[in-house]
Amino acid sequence: MWQAIYEELRGAGLEIIAVAFDAAGTAAVEAKIRCPDIAERPTMIADLMGWSPELWAQQAPPTYPCLIDETHLVAELYGMVNVPQGVWIDEQGRIVRPAESAGTIDMVRHLNRETLELPDAAVKAGASARMAYIDALRDWVKNGEKSPYALPPEEVKRRMKGPGEAEVLAATHAKLGRHLFAQGDNAGGRRHFAEASRLCPDSWNYRRQSMVLEPELIGQLNTAPEFWAAVDALGDTPYYPPADLSPVR
């Protein structure tokens, strides 16, 4: 679906770089990037991510760079705590919009966990939120710094939260977790990722990684009971906070 947006806007200067975060590397995500059976992807994924039927019908293997970040370095540098999130960077290398949901909203709360179905109202709301984000992106590509969605530097700084002591310690535990996993110590890897998640509870990247380091779970959609328990424990806090697209200028 992002391939359709890329083909639409690349002539106007848009470049997309996709980054997957997984300590298991290519074994976890390579087949999902350029899978041979892309037309057979379940439409549930489209509904969950807010892709309209029109854009879903245009899905194609990406031609833009797709990287696999086994160390979660990009997430730590840009403050990404979940996927999918997006960061807008202009031609001068300046962050125009810091990490935020790339048009995805809290659809997971409406998902029937047995049938993996979503009510029509939720599907409609998700598609509306996704299109609002894409339309904002189109405006920025067309108008650059004059776009109302291009945030001024002071607003970018306000929205970006620098790492505190807990985040730095969490990143250290995550590094240890990756090292132990690479050495074949899955239990040790999970333990350190779990501690990183405890220290940095907003990071679903750490939390999710701590749950999927068993060989049989690598590359699988996380629908384990412990994942749903963590989602339920959020209470009123959204799993996917919606992007704040209100004009600042």
Give the tokens for residue 159.
Answer: 């929205």
pLDDT of residue 179: 94
At residue 108, does pLDDT exceed 90? Answer: no
Task: Give the rounded percent of residues in the chain with a pLDDT score beyond 70.
Answer: 94
Q: Give the 3-state secondary structure of 176-207.
A: HHHHHHHCCCHHHHHHHHHHHHHHCCCCHHHH
Residues 72-85, mean pLDDT to the nearest whole number: 93
At residue 61, does pLDDT exceed 70? Answer: yes
pLDDT of residue 13: 95
Closest to 238 (Cα-Cα) out of 101, 106, 58, 110: 106
Tell whether pTM > 0.85: yes
Q: What are 68's strand-pairing partners?
A: 20
Residues 187-196, mean pLDDT to the nearest whole number: 94
pLDDT of residue 248: 74
pLDDT in tens, 141-164: 999 999 999 999 999 999 998 889
From 35-49, 108-122, 218-232, the region with the lowest mean pLDDT: 35-49
216 close to 181: Cβ distance less than 8 angstroms: no
Residues 205-213, mean pLDDT to the nearest whole number: 88
From 93-97, 138-142, 210-214, the region with the lowest mean pLDDT: 210-214
Q: Dihedral of CA 177/179/180/182: which sign?
A: positive
pLDDT in tens, 127-141: 999 999 999 999 999
Mean pLDDT of the chain: 89
Domain segments of the chain: what residues? Answer: 2-159, 165-232
pLDDT of residue 192: 96
pLDDT in tens, 19-47: 999 888 887 776 666 665 666 677 777 78
